[in-house]
Amino acid sequence: MSGGEEEALIEAAQAARKQAYAPYSTYQVGSALQTRSGRIYTGCNVENASYGLTICSERVALAKAVSEGEREFELLAICASGAPAPCGACRQVLYEFSPDLVLLLVDPQKKQRARVDLTTLFPHAFQSSSLGI
């Protein structure tokens, strides 16, 4: 993926972040997921008064892509203040589809970026082989 394509993905994540529904934490997160076919799906976090029902931006983007028939993913940009990184649940769900996924972690206020492989963030993912499947 070229630098220009990565910039476009980051811009999509930043735009998605503006749609976040975060009245409780005020922590807005946006994600943009690029499929192997080249399509981009965005997501934002959607909070709920019952915190356990909150949906992370990464899973929103993934669910949109899967609901459109996509199953293979190459790159995920996550945009948030601080040190954005997917939670454990998102790491597991992303791993289910693309263990080799590359993540761009972007803090727009500090103008910081990190590029990391999902397997680096999540070296011991639960796998279907653990179920005997």
Average pLDDT over residues 91-115: 94
Buried b / exposed e over 87-126, threshold 16 CB at 10 Å, is eeebbebbbebbeebbbbbbbbeeeeeeeeebeebbeebe
Give domain status of residue 28, yes or no. Answer: yes
For residue 132, is it within any domain?
no
Residue 36 inside a domain? The answer is yes
Do the domain assignments include residue 94? no
| Angstrom distance (rounded) from CA 27 to CA 45 | 9
Enter the pTM of the model: 0.92
Residue 92, in any domain of the structure: no
Domain count for the chain, please give it. Answer: 1
Phi then psi for 33, rounded to 5 degrees? -115, 125
What average pLDDT does the chain have? 94
**Lowest-pLDDT choice from 34-43, 55-64, 71-80, 121-130:** 121-130
Domain range holding 106? Answer: 3-87+99-125
Distance CA 112, CA 54 (A): 26
Q: Is residue 131 part of a domain?
A: no
Instruction: Answer yes or no: is 22 within a domain.
Output: yes
Does 79 map to a domain?
A: yes
Q: What CATH number corresponds to the domain at position 35?
A: 3.40.140.10
* pLDDT tens-digit series, residues 33-53: 999 999 999 999 999 999 999
**Active site residue ranges:** 58
